[in-house]
A and B are shown apart, each in its own frame.
Chain A
Amino acid sequence: MADSKDFIAGVDSNAKKSPRRIVFITRRTSAQVKAETEDQIQTFPEVLFRAVVAIEVLAVALVWISLMFNAPLEGLADPSHTPNPAKAPWYFLGLQEILHYFPPVVAGVLVPGLVVMALIVIPYFKVNIEAEGLFLKDRAQRLRIFYLVTALLCIFLIAFHVIVALVPTLIIAALMILASQGSPQSSSGFRRYLAARPLSYWVMTWFLFELVVLTAVGTFFRGPGWSWVWPWQGS
């Protein structure tokens, strides 16, 4: 061989942050070199330290809350004396709110079952992986489907008098219409942002909105017989 050195060597080193890496690339069989190298930091001590500090801050906050506010404790359980209203823990009050409108099979079994199923399958759908702006392709057709679905949903909610859930639905629908009018070239940043939102974003955001509203209504606006009360009315 004419050339005694049959390889090139490269060193990438930032000893404080990541281990020293030395690459040897032979001239004849050049290895594939990944283009992207991101700055990395060592888990010990830096990352663990940060996580511990975050948890400690949280712990201090919770300790403070525990010193200030006492956990509720009512009278001894009495099966013969039903409080009115009897409420589930707060995170189930959204569910209890729907239970007020629909038969238990629907509100108690079907809806939560579907929600869990829907959550599980999110990562297995290609649309959710690609996550393109909902109205950027086939705009006319997608708009038609969107109007149809929204209209059916609204009719359904009105038929069962679920005004509480109708309001978030309409707000999200309005935002989606706004999104359908925007494009990546829109002048306003907000429009561009909306236009780039994929389907999964809209569904999830609608779900989050409903979850928050229904839970808040169940918690603060429901009194005896699950009737509507204002929080300041007291019971």
Chain B
Amino acid sequence: MAKTLDRYFDDLRQTRVWRSIFRSGTGSSTLHRALVIQQNVFLHLFSTKVRTRLLGFSATWYLGSLTFGTFLILVATGIPLMFYYHPSVPQAYADTKDLQFVVSSGLFLRNLHRWSAHGMVFLVFAHMFKVFYRGAYRTPREFNWVIGVVLLLMTLLLSYTGYLLPWDQLAFWAITVGSNIASAVPLIGNKIHFLLLGGNAVNANALLRFYVLHCMILPLTAMLFVAIHFWRIRKDGGLYAHSTEPATVRAKAAEPSASGKTGGTWGTQAAPGAQGMAKEAR
């Protein structure tokens, strides 16, 4: 059964239409598999090969991929939510209520969007700390780390702007508390506050602004930065593995016998106590 399915799929991949869409051609040779990545706009953000060691769960805990996963779920659930939602007062609240009680599966849709949003905030923090503790911000990855910080802020802003949209008491007061902080900025605080809300308090203008930011500006910007983030991983030489870094490779070559079997030490300067520190390398 599985075999025949495979055959059908192979046949499909031979068709002119398929070949016209996917540039990589057919076959399962190594070359072809590399082409699948290289010849696709989206996949070419990734490198064609990954060090096997970094594929294991322990290397990254897949936290970056999972963060991306929540982002995909949020886009997929966010679009149908938009079909039922008007960003106006008090219609926004009525729409949210309808989603809860009238729209079929609306409750589920809203739940999934909400919990995935919380999940994304949690995962993005987890990913950041994991990257930090692996030391994966090292040269030449500095700037990808900075892009990561931008993505962290984007994630928080996305979640924060979305929080207002149901226009219930929870939303209203959370945004009121949060936006008041902007007023504390010296000199221009009140101006920023006004710019953010389109008024001196959270009102219909604020809802509209948050809606535009939440559904358009921020997701698009986040996508752009995620694309750069992924592309930089490839350009920076793939996922970080300490022992494959140029400095370490050089140090090892200079000192052939010392750390051969530990699979990498903490660095070129790990001379005293290399043994103890070797544990640190992941």
Task: State the CA gap A196–B275 with chains docked (Å).
Answer: 11
Task: State the CA gap A103–B186 with chains docked (Å).
Answer: 12
Query: Contact mask B20-42 → A, CB, 8 Å, 1/0?
Result: 00000000001101101100000
In the complex the two chains form, is B184's CB within 8 Å of A109's CB? Answer: yes
Query: Contact mask B142-185 → A, CB, 8 Å, 1/0?
Result: 10011001001100100110010011111111101110111111
Q: Which secondary structure characterizes the binding site on chain B? A: helix
**Shortest beta-carbon distance from A113 to chain B in Å:** 9
Given contacts A131-B266, A196-B277, contact A89 B112 (CB under 8 A): no
**Shortest beta-carbon distance from B18 to chain A in Å:** 16
B48 within 8 A of A: yes
The chain B residue with its CB closest to the CB of A84 is B173
**Shortest beta-carbon distance from A34 to chain B in Å:** 7
B30 surroundings in chain A (CB, below 8 A): 15, 18-20, 42
> Could you tell me which residues of chain A, from 98 to 146, have a CB within 8 Å of some CB in chain B?
99, 103-105, 108-109, 116, 119-120, 122-124, 128-133, 136
The chain B residue with its CB closest to the CB of A95 is B181
| Stretch of A48-56, A162-170, A173-181, A227-235 at the chain-chain interface | A48-56
**Shortest beta-carbon distance from B46 to chain A in Å:** 5
B62 within 8 A of A: yes
The chain A residue with its CB closest to the CB of B137 is A123
Can you list 9 A-B contacts (CB < 8 A)? A35-B252, A43-B49, A54-B62, A62-B70, A73-B100, A92-B160, A136-B272, A184-B272, A186-B276
A119 surroundings in chain B (CB, below 8 A): 128, 149, 152
B215 surroundings in chain A (CB, below 8 A): none
Task: State the CA gap A189–B275 with chains docked (Å).
Answer: 11
Given contacts A38-B244, A40-B49, contact A72 B62 (CB under 8 A): no
Task: State the CA gap A103–B185 with chains docked (Å).
Answer: 11
B259 within 8 A of A: no
In the complex the two chains form, is A41's CB within 8 Å of B139's CB? Answer: no
B110 within 8 A of A: yes
A59 within 8 A of B: yes
Task: State the CA gap A122–B167 with chains docked (Å).
Answer: 39
The chain A residue with its CB closest to the CB of B90 is A76
In the complex the two chains form, is B50's CB within 8 Å of A47's CB? Answer: yes
A208 surroundings in chain B (CB, below 8 A): 129
A129 surroundings in chain B (CB, below 8 A): 138-139
Selected contact of A131 from candidates B68, B108, B121, B267, CB within 8 Å: B267
**Shortest beta-carbon distance from A24 to chain B in Å:** 20
In the complex the two chains form, is A36's CB within 8 Å of B111's CB? Answer: no
In the complex the two chains form, is A184's CB within 8 Å of B111's CB? Answer: no
A77 within 8 A of B: yes
Other CB < 8 Å A-B pairs besides A58-B70, A66-B115, 15 of them? A36-B243, A41-B50, A41-B52, A41-B55, A44-B48, A63-B112, A66-B108, A71-B115, A77-B169, A79-B172, A88-B174, A89-B159, A105-B185, A184-B272, A184-B274
**Shortest beta-carbon distance from B229 to chain A in Å:** 14
A122 surroundings in chain B (CB, below 8 A): 132, 137, 145
Query: Contact mask A13-47 → B, CB, 8 Å, 1/0?
Result: 00101111000000000000011101111111111
Selected contact of B51 from candidates A39, A50, A211, CB within 8 Å: A39
In the complex the two chains form, is A66's CB within 8 Å of B112's CB? Answer: yes
In the complex the two chains form, is A77's CB within 8 Å of B171's CB? Answer: yes
B241 within 8 A of A: yes
> Could you tell me which residues of chain B, from 193 to 221, have a CB within 8 Å of some CB in chain A?
201-203
The chain A residue with its CB closest to the CB of B51 is A38
* Residue positions of A touching B, CB distance < 8 A: 15, 17-20, 34-36, 38-48, 50-51, 54-55, 58-59, 62-63, 65-67, 69-79, 81-83, 86-92, 95-96, 99, 103-105, 108-109, 116, 119-120, 122-124, 128-133, 136, 183-186, 189, 192-193, 195-196, 200-201, 204, 208, 211
Query: Contact mask B110-146 → A, CB, 8 Å, 1/0?
Result: 1111111011010001001100110101110110011
The chain B residue with its CB closest to the CB of A47 is B50
B138 surroundings in chain A (CB, below 8 A): 123, 129
B273 surroundings in chain A (CB, below 8 A): 133, 136, 183-185, 195-196
Task: State the CA gap A98–B108 with chains docked (Å).
Answer: 35
Given contacts A78-B169, A109-B185, contact A44 B33 (CB under 8 A): yes
The chain A residue with its CB closest to the CB of B253 is A35
B145 surroundings in chain A (CB, below 8 A): 120, 122-123
Task: State the CA gap A58–B64 with chains docked (Å).
Answer: 12
In the complex the two chains form, is B115's CB within 8 Å of A62's CB? Answer: yes
**Shortest beta-carbon distance from A191 to chain B in Å:** 9
B118 surroundings in chain A (CB, below 8 A): 90
B257 surroundings in chain A (CB, below 8 A): none
In the complex the two chains form, is A19's CB within 8 Å of B115's CB? Answer: no
The chain A residue with its CB closest to the CB of B176 is A86
B48 surroundings in chain A (CB, below 8 A): 42-44
